[in-house]
């Protein structure tokens, strides 16, 4: 199955190593365009949204393909919710709204 715009994805980057959760905008030979947040502050971000406190927004990124180490769909497994499902359950809002 191909990646499509609107897919929720996790992306692992190199140099420097980062992990992002986001919504895919476009993918090409040149790179990946995504609206995303850094996974290192996912829990704090969710807590701020729940508490209706100021929080960092998701940002639009263009990631050149040489930085992309891995990209996968953010999907639930049998017993573990996807990151976007966790976001929705905890906040009552859709990730796409951010």
Model-wide pTM > 0.85: yes
Classify burial at 36, counting beta carbons within 10 Å of its beta carbon; exposed 0-12, middle 13-18, buried 19 or more: buried
Q: Classify strands 8-13 and 18-27 as parallel, antiparallel or unpaired.
A: antiparallel
- Is the pLDDT assigned to residue 82 strictly greater than 80? yes
Under the banding of pLDDT at 50, 70 and 90, the label for residue 79 is: confident
Helices (H), 1-98: 42-50, 83-91
- Residue-level pLDDT at 44: 93
Q: Which CATH number is associated with domain 8-91?
A: 2.30.30
Task: Provide CB contacts within 8 A for 74, sequence distance 6+.
Answer: 8, 9, 10, 21, 82, 83, 84
Residue 43 phi, psi (nearest 5): -65, -45
What residue segments make up the domains of the chain, in order of their start?
A: 8-91
- Residue-level pLDDT at 37: 96
Tell me: the pLDDT tens digits for 8-61? 999 999 999 999 999 999 999 999 999 999 999 999 999 999 999 988 889 999
Under the banding of pLDDT at 50, 70 and 90, the label for residue 3 is: very high
């Amino acid at each position: 199955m191909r990646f499509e715009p609107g897919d929720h994805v996790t992306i692992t980057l190199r140099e420097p190593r980062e992990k992002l959760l986001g919504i895919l905008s476009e993918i090409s030979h040149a790179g990946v365009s995504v609206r995303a947040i850094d996974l290192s502050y996912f829990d704090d971000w969710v807590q701020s949204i729940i508490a209706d406190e100021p929080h960092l927004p998701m940002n639009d990124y263009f990631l050149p393909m040489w930085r992309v180490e891995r990209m996968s769909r953010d999907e639930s497994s049998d017993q573990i919710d996807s990151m976007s499902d966790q976001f929705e359950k905890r906040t009552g809002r859709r990730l796409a709204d951010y």
